Amino acid sequence: MQDQLRTRYELHQVQSGSMPWQQSKGKQVLWIGCSDSDYDELETLGLQPDQVLEYRNLGNMVTDDLSCRATLGYALEQLKIREIVVCGHYGCHIVQGSPNPGLPEPWSKNLDVVRSQHTHRLDQVSGQERDRTMVELNILGQVQNLSQAQNHEVKVFGLVYDRASKTGYQITEAAC
């Protein structure tokens, strides 16, 4: 039952000014993005460079490694950042519906776990749609993991970016 609930989510287009941090100044967002995006998400979504502590890795994953732990610690404890964005993107070469044999650990294993958790949903779609669904599920999984690991003061947002249309969508769990 839990897994079924976790796969229900909605996408809402991010409008100018619809995200809470765009009204204030100073570093206030930890941005966890993907290394192979084309790096234009922040500009398109209206985030100023001085508002963002940017961290990127393969597939915008929150991994249990020194770099990721140190970045989270620095953002939350030193900069007192209280808003984290996990932003994936359509057309990702890392996060795909089928395993990428060139991907190292732990990234390949993390994605295998997402695929196995959502086999039923992924099997309902194919091709590009399957890749896009996997991108969304991966973001949702990272958001859920991060949210559980942080206290309630920290808000975690999941975004997916569509470069073709220069549009961002917020991913939220659907009410059941």
Prior bond to 99 cis, omega within 30?
no
Q: Which stretch binds Zn ion (CB under 5 A): 61-69, 90-98, 151-159, 165-173?
A: 90-98
Comparison of 146 and 160: residue with beta carbon closer to Zn ion: 160
94 binds Zn ion (CB under 5 A): yes
- C-alpha torsion sign, points 127, 128, 131, 137: negative
Question: Binding residue per annotation — 87?
Answer: no
Angle between helical axes of 107-117 and 127-149 (0-180°, round to 10): 100
Q: Produce one character per residue of 134-163: b if its CB has 16 or more CB atoms within 10 Å, e if not.
A: bbbbbbbbbbeebbeeeeeebebbbbbbbe
Among 47, 92, 139, 140, interactor with Zn ion by CB under 5 A: 92
Residue where the block lists tokens 């007192």 = 80
Question: Binding residue per annotation — 89?
Answer: yes
Among 6, 7, 36, 173, interactor with Zn ion by CB under 5 A: 36
Q: Which stretch binds Zn ion (CB under 5 A): 70-78, 91-99, 112-120, 160-168?
A: 91-99
134 binds Zn ion (CB under 5 A): no
Which residues of the chain form contacts with Zn ion (CB under 5 A)? 34, 36, 92, 94
